Amino acid sequence: MVTLRRQYAVARPVYSEDSLAEDHEKVYRLRKTILDHAREYLTCDSKRAKNAVLSLLPIIGWMRSYRVREWLLGDVVSGISTGLVAIMQGLAFSLMASLPASYGLYTAFFPMLTYFFLGTSKHISVGSFPVLSLMVGAVVTRLVPDVGPPANITGFQNLTQDQQRVLVASSMTFLVGIFQLAMGIMQVGFIVVYLSDTLVSGFTTAAAVHILVSQLKFVLGLTVPGISGPLSVIYTLAEIFVQITSTNICDLVMSILIMVLVFIVKELNDKYKAKLPVPIPIEVVMTVIACGVSYGFNFETRYDVDVVGKMVSGYESPIAPNMDILQESAVEAFPVAIVGFAVAFSVAKVYSIKHDYTIDGNQELIAFGVSNIFGASFRSFAASTALSRTALQESSGGKTQIAGLISAMMAMIVTVALGFLLEPLPTSVLGALVIVNLKGMLMQFREIPYLWRRDKPECVVWMGTCLGATLLGLDLGLAVGLGVELLTVVFRTQFPRCSVLANIPGTDLYKDRKDYMHTLEPKGVKIFRIPSPIFFANIEFFRDKLVDAVGFNPLRVLRKRNKALRKIKKLLKQEDDATERGLRDLFRQRTDGSRMDAEELDQPSDLKHLPFQMDWRAKLPGNNTVPRVDLHSLILDFSAVSFLDISALKGLKAALKEFIHVDVDVYIVSCDACILEKLHSCTFFDDEILTSMFFPTLHDAMLHVLDKHKDKSQGWVVREAIYATNTSVLLRKLDMHAEAQHRRDQSWS
């Protein structure tokens, strides 16, 4: 269907960058120095002080605009609903961290207290996160293994195994908080941009595999020691299969039943979420039922079922981190800090866009850093957010972090007064709840065929991250994923998809000639586009692709021309009195040109002392052949070139001169102003490379080229008659000498 399109017509001169600057005065801006930025950053006044306080304590901003009548009820309902789920997840995720279950309630309480004041997100539910729990658990089991003596750490004396593990987890969490706080103070919240959605997806999928394997021992009722390090998944599975005949049938049946029921109810929640005021808290319901059944039928003694056991009642006094543990866990703590922040920031960003408010990445780092430091002092482990809890908090009516504060109060009530009710809860129930909640992360495997069809490098990042994190562990896997991701970026920039452009007839548009049926390429003109920055790693690739595009190597052509020119000059010198010996030496010694200095061959052809105008397209005397060059203009489209480094600048200058030396005019179009400034500052321009080669648009350059060569026949200037006559006569005479010499050579042979 043909639609009417608006048309435009613009009448203006053809501009080069020089003529544009003449007709339109340019504003030259003063660039701030590092000292200027430092002075501005350190300057303090009342306005900046107020903004600093509001930035450091976001609660002041949203509390002043809090709508009590409209929002309070929703926050209360949301807080209660989220709190119930946070309690169940805290218990389950604490087991994943190889800690007593009650310490998961600490993580649901303490970090939220400080985030309430310092966080910029109004919707995320701060607390335990399965991936972080697993990463903390790997360090805990490494320093305090299930079997064998613990690591040689000073603070372990006179402590039980559980107390040692709590000390390890809290000390590592303290270091995680230090890392996050330091990054927030140094304003490096942008670091999260290096964790792409694809990388995070592959990483969380691998984490789901680790979580699934770690929970199998609870579901099957087996006693499997915690294993950490590379290939821990394989070793754990091997240990499980060795003990598979010892499976506790009661644990297995109960786990399967709970997983099926929870899965069905969750699907119903998703299907009827528009009609349900609050999602059915099926995890809480199943936990309460399982506690009652386990207590009533005495599962612990009758069926040998592992239960949560003694719950810590109330809160213990704060503890200081152990310096030996800080040193032992430093390598693992940094990726935990990055992953925890990246996940929380990604989730917070989704809901900030949905509800139209802004979040500050640097302030989020500060908030989580302080929260983890504060929580670690009271024996909690690393906190972030869980997508399921955040989704519940937002969908059940939560408007601000008052909902989060109420959920923390729920955890406090259970810890202080109701913890004993959870003591008969089977650990297999917690394992089943964890596994059934992995559905979302495990379903990310479906992204593989989609990514393979749409973007193969992204698929490589996903698979590399997932495989690396699954086999090597989450900390090393994250490093592998970042390495693969950076390699794909280097690959894309080092080997970009260069193209030759052609004009779409009747327009000023220029597109890849391979993409359109009917295009126009003026004879003798080539338009080359490189869609990436040019730097030290891809400058040679750029030059090779440019040579492929034009169809000849200008440096080789120049060397051939200079060799031929040397012979022609000698023929001219010996034209009147050349002897048979001289001609034999001239044409039989093939090393004559090769003995020329290499630098001399690379210099522009010297045509000053010839009695005619040289036409390199004409037939040359003897067996001398020079590659034919039918190109008179080369246009380089720099519209997608964002920067040039010094190495690329030198390579570009050499490439341009090679074409100029073989009589090809070179033009650069749509060059960024910052790149032009850099070219001027780096003395890029000289007697051969001029500023007049630069044009603001591709069409300006094309019009200039067509106007310059409008009097040319088939793309080449018609030679003046006198020069053409002289050239043909002299070349014919030289050719006769060459033929005579060739006949003598045959007679001698």
Report the pLDDT value the prediction gives residue 284, as an integer from 0 to 100: 84
**335-344 residue pLDDT tens:** 999 989 988 8
Report the pLDDT value the prediction gives residue 311, as an integer from 0 to 100: 85
Residue 51 has pLDDT above 50, yes or no: yes
Domain boundary assignment for the chain: 66-486, 499-552+629-717, 554-628+719-748
Q: Tell me which DSSP letter residue 155 carries.
A: G
Report the pLDDT value the prediction gives residue 606, as an integer from 0 to 100: 57
Report the pLDDT value the prediction gives residue 658, as an integer from 0 to 100: 92
Q: Write the DSSP string, 591-621.
A: HHHHTS-HHHHTSPP--TT-SS---TTSPPS
Q: How would residue 721 be classed by pLDDT, with cut points 50, 70 and 90?
A: very low
**363-374 residue pLDDT tens:** 999 999 999 999
Residue 194, C-beta contacts closer than 8 angstroms, at least 6 positions apart: 482, 485
Q: Comparing C-alpha atoms, which of 497, 475, 448 is closest to residue 640? A: 497
CA distance 222 to 394: 38
Length of the chain: 749
Q: How would residue 600 be classed by pLDDT, with cut points 50, 70 and 90?
A: low
**203-218 residue pLDDT tens:** 889 988 988 998 899 8
CA distance 430 to 91: 7
User: Which of these ranges, 144-153, 317-326, 523-532, has the smallest mean pLDDT?
Assistant: 144-153
Q: Which residue has the tokens 């869609």?
A: 531
State mean pLDDT over 571-586: 50
Q: How would residue 711 be classed by pLDDT, with cut points 50, 70 and 90?
A: low
User: Which of these ranges, 118-127, 464-473, 708-717, has the smallest mean pLDDT?
Assistant: 708-717
158 exposed, middle or buried (CB, 10 Å; 0-12, 13-18, 19+)?
exposed
Q: What is the β-pairing status of strands 665-669 and 633-637?
A: parallel
**134-143 residue pLDDT tens:** 889 989 999 9
Mean pLDDT of the chain: 84
Q: Model-level pTM?
A: 0.78
Residue 737 has pLDDT above 60, yes or no: no
State mean pLDDT over 728-748: 54
Residue 86 has pLDDT above 70, yes or no: yes
State mean pLDDT over 97-115: 92
Q: Could you give the 3-state DSSP secondary structure of residue 210?
A: helix
Residue 23 has pLDDT above 80, yes or no: yes
For residues 568 and 728, is the Cβ–Cβ distance under 8 A?
Answer: no
Report the pLDDT value the prediction gives residue 583, as an integer from 0 to 100: 39
Half-sphere exposure (CA, 13 Å, Cβ side) for 562? Answer: 22
Report the pLDDT value the prediction gives residue 596, as an integer from 0 to 100: 52
Q: Which residue has the tokens 């639609």?
A: 3
Report the pLDDT value the prediction gives residue 607, as an integer from 0 to 100: 58
Intra-chain end-to-end CA distance of the chain, in Å: 77
Q: How would residue 573 be classed by pLDDT, with cut points 50, 70 and 90?
A: low
Report the pLDDT value the prediction gives residue 714, as an integer from 0 to 100: 39
Report the pLDDT value the prediction gives residue 349, as an integer from 0 to 100: 87
**472-484 residue pLDDT tens:** 988 888 889 999 9
CA distance 156 to 138: 18
CATH topology of domain 499-552+629-717: Transcription Regulator spoIIAA (3.30.750)
Task: State both tokens at 267.
Answer: 């699907």
CA distance 283 to 614: 90
Residue 725 has pLDDT above 50, yes or no: no
State mean pLDDT over 264-272: 89
Report the pLDDT value the prediction gives residue 45, as an integer from 0 to 100: 76
Residue 735 has pLDDT above 80, yes or no: no
**492-503 residue pLDDT tens:** 888 999 999 999
